[in-house]
Amino acid sequence: MSSELQISPAIHDPQGQEKQQQAAGVGILLQIMMLVLSFVLGHVLRRHKFYYLPEASASLLIGLIVGGLANISNTETSIRTWFNFHDEFFFLFLLPPIIFQSGFSLQPKPFFSNFGAIVTFSVLGTFVASMVTGVLVYLGGVMFLMYRLPFVECLMFGSLISATDPVTVLSIFQELGSDVNLYALVFGESVLNDAMAISLYRTMSLVRSHSSGQNFFMVIVRFLETFVGSMSAGVGVGFTSALHLFKYAGLDVDNLQNLECCLFVLFPYFSYMLAEGLSLSGIVSILFTGIVMKHYTYSNLSANSQRFVSAFFHLISSLAETFVFIYMGFDIAMEKHSWSHLGFILFSILFIVIARAANVFGCGYLVNLARPAHRKIPMTHQKALWYSGLRGAMAFALALQSVHDLPEGHGQTIFTATTAIVVLTVLLIGGSTGTMLEALEVVGDSHDTSLGDGFEVVNSRFMNSYDDEDTPPGSGFRTKLRELHKSAASFTELDRNYLTPFFTSNNGDYDDEGNIEQHHEERIPFTRRGSVNNRG
């Protein structure tokens, strides 16, 4: 903390004039007050179980209102200066904690037991959604329905707008209870699809700037370079951190907690910067570092440090996320909007709804082909997944970057459309989520396999289905899908038999973390079982 606040404009001016510094101070003051207000308002709304205005929407509204007031008053220009920060601030200070936390708060067990489905939805599905959106936007431009963008730029827009952020859906799941597999699907999909969307965006951006002599093969290579390269960097740093902190496990020394925590906090940023230094995606890298660090490094920490780092990352990411929503609201209220973008916005919304349907129902069909009868994803779950396609910080950040990457009018159009889509989806979908999920009957205490308790059942069932291969073989395609599915299960085996014993000081058996509650709760995460060295 503390330090996750806006870089004042004064920093950009080496003269450091007192007036300007003072104005910056007032600007930051205003931002802190808005943050405090958001937290308190969100808290009050949640206590009164008012689900029509989730925290994210409340933050967005506060930003909208303050921005609107500033717009009316004459102080506009100076306030605009206070809030004017560059997209690097987003990418260096706000996004990393948010993305790391989304990887870090992933519960390994339900995630890995739905690994195949999640990868299908997030990799194949996001690709499908990006292409469908891009092609539709391009066709819309060709047919003069909306502002016309070049095809590659349409694909860039399709990629960035496919990054979902189901923050309100997930908070309602946590509030009301939900099926653990549905939660894992929605959460896992949103986490990995950020990585996919950013990789697609970067690939398209590279294709655009080096448009000569590019062929389809090169595009694939570039995409793999970004995605696999960043993932490897992230996973590598994660494993390094696990081995590094392994050395301290079981040592009962003075001041250990602070040492452990300092190192634990530095590794994610190291991963981010390493990837950026290698011209890869820091965001994708830090996401995978988060997943690996939660799964391996985390269990090498002392019980106190475990509680601390969970709360720490939760705090930092809440602050960053709230700030992002406030900023988005403020920004849309302050922007000079021309009505010419209205058509683009409306058609884009229609297209992303269609693209999301193509993603979810298409991939849902494929996944169900591969799954045995009792594990098929029910239609209600697919609808909930389709419904949870809110757009958030990642789409906004990429749109902010597109303003620099693209020619004047194009980038501005994409940015305005994205901001509008974010605000509309957060306010409309966010407000109706409670009602909608209850109508679909996927939330509520009555639910049998409620989060936490239900997981063991699901998991054992899942394990059984691979122990006894009595399910009748389907068509050739279907068999292949099942084999793919099985390879995901074999990853779980690899993890259990080799990775976990090597990288952690646990006795190799899984912890019983089958519940989705956040780790800042009073409950103590699985304690270290002695300091037996299982490496050999």
**Please, how many CA atoms are within 13 Å of residue 209, restricted to the half-sphere of its CB?**
10
User: For residue 326, what is the enclosing H or E element?
Assistant: helix 303-334
220 is a contact residue toward its own copies (CB under 8 A):
no
Residues in contact with its own copies, shown as a per-residue x/- string from 400 to 419 under the rule CB under 8 A: ----x---------------
281 is a contact residue toward its own copies (CB under 8 A):
no
Kindly state the tokens that stand for 415. 């940015």
**Residue where the block lists tokens 């068509």:** 475
Q: Are 479 and 70 in contact (CB under 8 A)?
A: no
In the complex with its own copies, which residue's Cβ is closer, 7 or 357? 7
In the complex with its own copies, which residue's Cβ is closer, 29 or 463? 29
Residues 237-266 that bind its own copies (CB under 8 A): 253-255, 257-259, 261-263, 265-266
270 is a contact residue toward its own copies (CB under 8 A):
yes
Q: Nearest 10 degrees: CA dihedral of 246, 499, 527, 295?
A: 100
In the complex with its own copies, which residue's Cβ is closer, 162 or 271? 271
In the complex with its own copies, which residue's Cβ is closer, 7 or 65? 7
Give phi and psi for 100, each to the nearest 5.
Answer: -60, -45
CA–CA gap between residue 393 and residue 375 (Å, rounded): 33
Residues 37-66 that bind its own copies (CB under 8 A): 39-40, 43, 46-47
In the complex with its own copies, which residue's Cβ is closer, 49 or 336? 49
Number of residues engaging its own copies in binding (CB under 8 A): 76
335 is a contact residue toward its own copies (CB under 8 A):
no
CA-based end-to-end distance of the chain = 40
Residues 74-93 that bind its own copies (CB under 8 A): 86-89, 92-93
Among 277, 407, 409, 474, which residue sits at the site for its own copies (rule: CB under 8 A)? Answer: 277
CA–CA gap between residue 152 and residue 406 (Å, rounded): 11
In the complex with its own copies, which residue's Cβ is closer, 379 or 524? 524
| Count helices and strands in the chain by DSSP H and E runs | 23, 0
522 is a contact residue toward its own copies (CB under 8 A):
yes
Q: Which amino acid, one-letter code, is at 148?
A: R
Residues 293-332 that bind its own copies (CB under 8 A): 304, 307-308, 311-316, 318-320
The CA-CA-CA angle for residues 220, 226, 227, to 5°, reads 85
Among 145, 273, 346, 499, which residue sits at the site for its own copies (rule: CB under 8 A)? Answer: 273
Residues 160-199 that bind its own copies (CB under 8 A): 175
CA–CA gap between residue 330 and residue 63 (Å, rounded): 4
- For 404, other C-beta atoms within 10 Å of its C-beta total 10
340 is a contact residue toward its own copies (CB under 8 A):
no
467 is a contact residue toward its own copies (CB under 8 A):
no
In the complex with its own copies, which residue's Cβ is closer, 10 or 155? 10
16 is a contact residue toward its own copies (CB under 8 A):
yes
Residues in contact with its own copies, shown as a per-residue x/- string from 91 to 110 under the rule CB under 8 A: -xx--xx--x----------
Q: Are 316 and 265 in contact (CB under 8 A)?
A: no
4 is a contact residue toward its own copies (CB under 8 A):
yes
CA–CA gap between residue 504 and residue 2 (Å, rounded): 31
CA–CA gap between residue 128 and residue 366 (Å, rounded): 13
CA–CA gap between residue 37 and residue 353 (Å, rounded): 33
Answer positive or negative: Cα dihedral of 429, 432, 434, 440.
negative
Q: Stretches 18-26, 137-145, 343-351, 458-466: which one binds its own copies (CB under 8 A)? A: 18-26
268 is a contact residue toward its own copies (CB under 8 A):
yes
- Least gap, CB of 414 to its own copies (angstroms): 17
3 is a contact residue toward its own copies (CB under 8 A):
yes
- Least gap, CB of 237 to its own copies (angstroms): 11
CA–CA gap between residue 417 and residue 349 (Å, rounded): 9
- Least gap, CB of 106 to its own copies (angstroms): 18
